[in-house]
């Protein structure tokens, strides 16, 4: 059994799935207080930068490039990041490298992320997402979608970006996913990216 320190990470009742690629879902990842502090900072002070590529347009930044408010500074601590890594290792039964990329993403009205798989040989192998918002309704759009293939019509599952919910998945040529168009509201996501240790 994987044991997490609930003061740092709260991921009870996590469900793990194997198809169409390994992934897990959980309806609560962080404490309500941490979520509240993060949202306030995201909405008022976080240093968002617009990034545009061939398949998405969004605002983002790396947590390692900014000065965090003291109440959430633990998010980049070695203790906390190790806790997150250990939890992901347990859920996927893998051994991950100590390298962790930790970013925040923001999507606003009219933005979306088209279908892609994030796979780059030698690149990240696992990703863990935590959704934050002020209460999300289906009319807002912004659904996370997993696909059985690279066809946009071949949908495996649709995830509502409910506040404080989380999704993790293994990255591979088969990990096709997307985020539908945002119609209203701000959709914030914590993104942890991990790298599986090479076989010795």
Domain locations in the chain as residue ranges: 15-196
What is the predicted pLDDT for the residue at 8?
A: 56
What is the predicted pLDDT for the residue at 189?
A: 98
- Which of these, 86, 63, 115, lies nearest to 2 by C-alpha position? 86
The ranges of the chain with pLDDT < 70 are 1-8, 199-200
Cβ-based neighbour number of residue 16 at 10 Å: 14
What homologous superfamily does CATH list for 15-196? q2cbj1_9rhob like domain (2.60.120.620)
- Which of these, 177, 147, 111, lies nearest to 19 by C-alpha position? 147
What is the predicted pLDDT for the residue at 10?
A: 72
What is the predicted pLDDT for the residue at 153?
A: 96
104 in Cβ contact with 192 (< 8 Å): no
Residue whose entry in the numeric block shows the structure tokens 């998010």: 75
């Amino acid at each position: 059994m994987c044991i997490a320190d609930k003061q740092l990470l709260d991921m009870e009742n996590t469900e793990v799935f194997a198809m169409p690629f390994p992934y897990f879902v959980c309806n609560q990842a962080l404490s309500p207080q941490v979520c509240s502090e993060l949202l306030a900072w995201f909405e008022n002070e976080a240093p968002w930068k617009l990034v545009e590529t061939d398949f998405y347009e969004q605002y983002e930044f790396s947590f390692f490039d900014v000065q965090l408010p003291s109440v959430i500074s633990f998010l980049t601590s070695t203790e906390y990041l190790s806790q997150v890594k250990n939890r992901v290792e347990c859920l996927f039964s893998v051994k991950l490298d100590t390298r962790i990329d930790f970013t925040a993403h923001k999507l606003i009205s009219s933005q979306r992320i088209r279908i892609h798989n994030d796979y780059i040989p030698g690149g990240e192998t696992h990703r863990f997402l935590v959704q934050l918002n002020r209460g999300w309704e289906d009319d807002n759009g912004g659904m996370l979608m997993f696909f059985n293939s690279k066809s946009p019509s071949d949908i495996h599952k649709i995830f509502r970006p409910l506040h404080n919910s989380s999704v993790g998945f293994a990255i591979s040529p088969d990990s096709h996913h997307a985020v539908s168009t945002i119609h209203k509201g701000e959709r914030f996501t914590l993104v942890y990216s991990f790298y599986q240790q090479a076989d010795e």
